Amino acid sequence: MKQIAPIILALTTAVAASAQTLSNGIQLPKTWPPVYPLPTERHEMPVPYLKQKPEVLPINNGRQLFVDDFLVNETNLKREFHTPTYYRGNPVLEPTETWENTTEGAPYASPFSDGVWYDEKEGIYKMWYLAGAGTIHKGSNQTFYTCYAESKDGKHWVKTNLDIVPGTNIVDTCNRDAATIWLDRFEKDPNKRWKFFNIERRATDKRWQIVLKYSADGRKWSKGVAQSGDIYDRSTAFYNPFIKRWAISMRYGTPVSSRSRAYIEHSDPETLVSLTHRFRNDAADKYMRFWFSPDDKELVHEKYPEVKPGIYNFDVIPYESVMIGQYAAWAGPENEICKRDGIQKRNVISLGYSRDGFHFSRPTHEAFMNVVEKEGAWNWGNMQSINGTPLIVGDSLYFYASGRRLNKIMWDSYTSTGLATLRRDGFVSLNADVKEGYLLTEPLSFDGEFFFVNAELKSKKAQLLVELLDKDGNVIEGYSKKDCIALKGIDKTKVRVVWKKHKDVAQLKGKTVRAKFYLTQGKLYSFWISPWESGESRGFTAGGGPNISGSGIDQPQD
């Protein structure tokens, strides 16, 4: 950490007057994306905006999550990290068709990033996944293409027959590795609404490159409209609405690990793809950046402690007021050892959170979605994250992931897709026991009128009170703890806070305010201030979901 301290200081203090200021008050450094030196030892990624916060935090956009200390000035509440519950009917998608097998008969039916999204225009869930391509690409034992499935409830999936390869659900026949399918709800051209960043193997030299394609419905895709230079496998793309740019998360080798990540961004996805390429450690690049390496807190495989963990992949998606990063955290062993020992490599999915889309904090390295190393388990090993997730389904978040079974056909095969559910905003809660605890926020500003929380207050003595203070720390008349009508006996992801004389906070719009929460025997997940009594947050809605706006923003439906 001593090695990078001066750089962190430079990034947090040497900001030009013209630097971009985000909707959450974070001011980006003059050099963006920021430049960090290649690490020579493992350390956590610096997060400058947590070291030097904005003087006032605007909270107009999205539910405010307690996934880091950005919002917190002072608290004695205990932070708890939550994990989703695997669906009892898993796997929700598994290989069942002959065209999903490789030439040696290894079955594959799971996204390799790819995507699971809810299409509000059609009112259905859509999934794209990697399948064995032995029926078309016979030149190698391990070749793949892209298939498609859809669902009415996100749990029961149908492999719809299409006409790309008659009688199958194949939507793209290119020999591929990973892929990103992205539902671009901000795209004005309906024919470019779906974007497909495919990692394709060139027939001429067998090198990997990204090819970008478009679609109006995700079923029929255009020919490639842009192509990258040579890249490494296991690379993906995402859109950062905070800075309004597309980015590519690319595998990259550093002195610390060959499983590190590089980064490139651009406002135009075609230009982004065209500028992407492998780059050398010993030369600068105008657009490409070293991003991060595995740190010193990565989980170590207890059976292979000699293996130094890596980051196998990193997918990113906007949710409410943050960007969620899904790490495929690799603990080994290497392929030849897996083959020798007849096992799958261990990848678990862990989470990080960002408020600018580049710097990610990892409050815990424990698995968010873990493997189940048990005979017959769909996710015995090699779990991979999926683009689009989470989806918002009522009071729940749907997370999908792929996993691999133990099998005798080919050790690195037999992939399936599983579902796990989490409470909405349920990543982290701040908890109190029988003794009342408190949380004081940093100075806030807002333009909404109605104060909402996501809270669990089920026990007999559980309650939550909210007090509002002015910029000098004085209680605002009518918004004291005593004035607040206590929330009791509830377990809701959206409940309104009111005071005896004030049903809203409209008179405080544009002022600097601190919120102080008083919690007893309960859990607080998030808070926000909405312009609407119905409580929509104006945050980003990730993969979408039924009964929410198809705009990509949580707002009342048309």
Amino acid symbol at 315:
D
- Same domain, residue pair 349 and 487: no
How many structural domains comprise the chain?
2
Beta-bridged to residue 444, according to DSSP, are 57, 513
- Dihedral angle computed from the Cα positions of residues 52, 25, 353 and 464, in that order, rounded to the nearest 10 degrees: 100
- The candidate with the shortest Cα–Cα distance to 187, out of 220, 150, 214, is 214
- Same domain, residue pair 350 and 458: no
Residue 392's CATH number: 2.115.10.20
Query: Which residue ranges of the chain lie beneath pLDDT 50?
Result: 1-17
Whether 176 maps to a domain, the answer reads: yes
Tens digit of each residue's pLDDT (9 = 90 or more) over 460-489: 999 999 999 999 999 999 999 999 999 999
- Same domain, residue pair 65 and 171: no
> Are residues 112 and 130 in contact, defined by beta-carbon separation less than 8 angstroms?
yes
Domain that holds residue 473: 57-79+431-541
CA atoms of 88 and 550, how far apart (whole Å): 29
Cα–Cα separations (whole angstroms), residue 220 to 178, 208, 212, 424, 550 = 19, 23, 14, 33, 21
Stated as kind and residue range, the H or E segment containing 335 is helix 335-341
Q: State pTM to two decimals.
A: 0.95
Residue 502's CATH number: 2.60.120
- Same domain, residue pair 181 and 328: yes
CA atoms of 20 and 35, how far apart (whole Å): 17
Upper half-sphere CA count for residue 415 (Cβ side, 13 Å): 25
CA atoms of 85 and 231, how far apart (whole Å): 36
Whether 416 maps to a domain, the answer reads: yes
pLDDT value of residue 18: 58
- Same domain, residue pair 287 and 333: yes
- Same domain, residue pair 203 and 179: yes
Whether 513 maps to a domain, the answer reads: yes
Whether 283 maps to a domain, the answer reads: yes
Amino acid symbol at 120:
E
Tens digit of each residue's pLDDT (9 = 90 or more) over 104-116: 999 999 999 999 9
State whether residue 169 is helix, strand or coil.
coil
CA atoms of 135 and 24, how far apart (whole Å): 50
* Domain boundary residue, one of 423, 456, 476: 423
CA atoms of 154 and 420, how far apart (whole Å): 11
The pair of structure tokens assigned to 267 is 């406002």
> Are residues 142 and 105 in contact, defined by beta-carbon separation less than 8 angstroms?
no
- Same domain, residue pair 412 and 466: no
Whether 49 maps to a domain, the answer reads: no
- Same domain, residue pair 337 and 467: no
The pair of structure tokens assigned to 139 is 């030149």
* Domain boundary residue, one of 402, 423, 444: 423
Judge if the upstream peptide bond of residue 107 is cis by omega within 30 degrees of 0.
no
Whether 4 maps to a domain, the answer reads: no
* Domain boundary residue, one of 398, 423, 448: 423
Return mean pLDDT, the chain: 95
Beta-bridged to residue 452, according to DSSP, are 496, 528
- Same domain, residue pair 332 and 184: yes
- Same domain, residue pair 75 and 90: no
Whether 213 maps to a domain, the answer reads: yes
The pair of structure tokens assigned to 424 is 């909405």
- Same domain, residue pair 280 and 255: yes
Whether 398 maps to a domain, the answer reads: yes
> Are residues 470 and 512 in contact, defined by beta-carbon separation less than 8 angstroms?
yes
- Same domain, residue pair 457 and 383: no
